[in-house]
């Protein structure tokens, strides 16, 4: 594997597919269509830089913990810790610079966004509700995309951000089941450790119910049409599949539920918005 390949695996670059479509959906609604190519590229770059910095920070601060966890034991072998810090600092600086190129408000808020996306990596040490902080970190993306286009806040992106918080918290709660024994033995906090596996699965269902309600509300407050709401049926089907797979309590099933279902949800969302906006 090349050095670039190891770095991409280190930050799980493929998982960018989760948050990016929600940013693009917010962008299309804010612009009432497709904004300039320049702005689209800047939004994409800002997203990639912020997520890269956040994931690298997560890997670095959890370096010793990950070495002890059988599921994550190989991460520190992909790159050195020094390279890990480079993958934090350089993308973070690039994110701030890109935000400056977008508009003044995005530039002024860029350090706040970085604090939010970095902070979640520390939360498992002092709260059982770290899943909500992961959700908060990803919820920055649709709000940021909206601000990039409009230069001001709005109700629609905040509703969508709330949905992203509960969406991510729900699927991260399912994913955290894999680490239940390790986290409990290591004294790490999580909702799975606090409530147990069965109760956590039920909580994840409630969280994804909140997500679906937020997607409906987002459609209403942003003036989406019948095409958008028709697509939401596919989102609901994917969420049901995810929870059925997770209920098997099989590692392979949980991983499929985590990646396939949630990638599908985010992609269907942006397709729903695009089909509605350009209809």
Give the pLDDT score at 20: 86
Q: Which residues contact 198 (CB under 8 A, 6 or more apart)?
A: none
Mention the CATH class of domain 3-277: mainly alpha
Name the token pair of 192: 């799975």
Q: What is the pLDDT of residues 242-264, one digit of tens each?
A: 888 777 766 666 666 667 778 88
CA dihedral 128, 129, 130, 135 (to 10 degrees): 170
The band of 180, judged by pLDDT with boundaries at 50, 70 and 90, is confident
Q: What local confidence, expressed as pLDDT, does residue 207 receive?
A: 95
Kindly report the pTM of this predicted structure.
0.89
Q: 92-101, 113-122, 171-180, 251-260: which has the minimum mean pLDDT?
A: 251-260
Domain boundaries, the chain: 3-277
Q: Which of 146-150, 181-185, 228-232 has the lowest mean pLDDT?
A: 181-185
The model's confidence at residue 13, banded by pLDDT at 50, 70 and 90, is low
For residue 218, is pLDDT > 70? yes
* Residues 111-133 pLDDT 10s: 999 999 999 888 878 888 888 99
Mean of pLDDT values over 51-69: 79
pLDDT (average), residues 198-206: 89
Residues in contact with 204: Cβ distance below 8 Å, sequence separation at least 6, in sequence order = 170, 171, 173, 174, 243, 246
Mean pLDDT of the chain: 86
Rounded to whole angstroms, what are the CA distances from 109 to 79, 80, 229, 256?
Answer: 31, 31, 32, 35
Average pLDDT over residues 268-272: 95
Residue 67's pLDDT is what?
A: 66
Residue 43 has pLDDT above 80, yes or no: yes
**Which tokens sit at 230?**
């028709």
Work out the average pLDDT over 48-64: 86
Q: Is the pLDDT of residue 10 over 60?
A: no
């Amino acid at each position: 594997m090349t050095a670039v390949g190891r770095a991409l695996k280190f930050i799980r670059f493929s998982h960018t597919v989760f948050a990016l479509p929600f940013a693009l959906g917010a962008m299309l609604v804010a612009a009432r269509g497709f904004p300039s190519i320049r702005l689209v590229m800047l939004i994409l770059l800002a997203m990639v830089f912020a997520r890269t910095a956040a994931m690298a920070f997560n890997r670095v601060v959890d370096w010793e913990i990950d070495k002890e966890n059988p599921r994550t034991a190989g991460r520190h072998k992909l790159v050195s810790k020094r390279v890990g810090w480079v993958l934090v600092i350089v993308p973070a600086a690039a994110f701030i610079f890109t935000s400056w190129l977008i508009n003044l408000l995005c530039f002024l808020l860029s350090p706040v966004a970085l604090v939010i996306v970095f902070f979640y990596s520390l939360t498992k040490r002092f709260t059982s509700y770290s899943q909500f902080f992961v959700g908060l970190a990803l919820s920055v993306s649709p709000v940021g995309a909206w601000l990039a286009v409009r230069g001001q806040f709005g109700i629609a992106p905040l509703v969508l951000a709330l949905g992203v918080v509960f969406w991510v918290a729900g699927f991260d709660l399912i994913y955290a089941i894999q680490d239940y024994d390790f986290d409990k033995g290591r004294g790490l906090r999580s909702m799975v450790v606090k409530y147990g596996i069965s109760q956590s699965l039920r909580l994840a269902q409630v969280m994804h119910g909140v997500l679906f309600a937020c997607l409906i509300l987002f459609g209403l407050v942003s003036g989406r049409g019948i095409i958008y709401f028709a697509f939401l049926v596919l989102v609901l089907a994917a969420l049901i599949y995810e929870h059925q797979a997770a209920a098997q309590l099989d590692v392979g099933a949980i991983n499929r539920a985590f990646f396939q279902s949630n990638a599908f949800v985010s992609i269907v969302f942006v397709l729903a918005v695009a089909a509605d906006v350009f209809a």
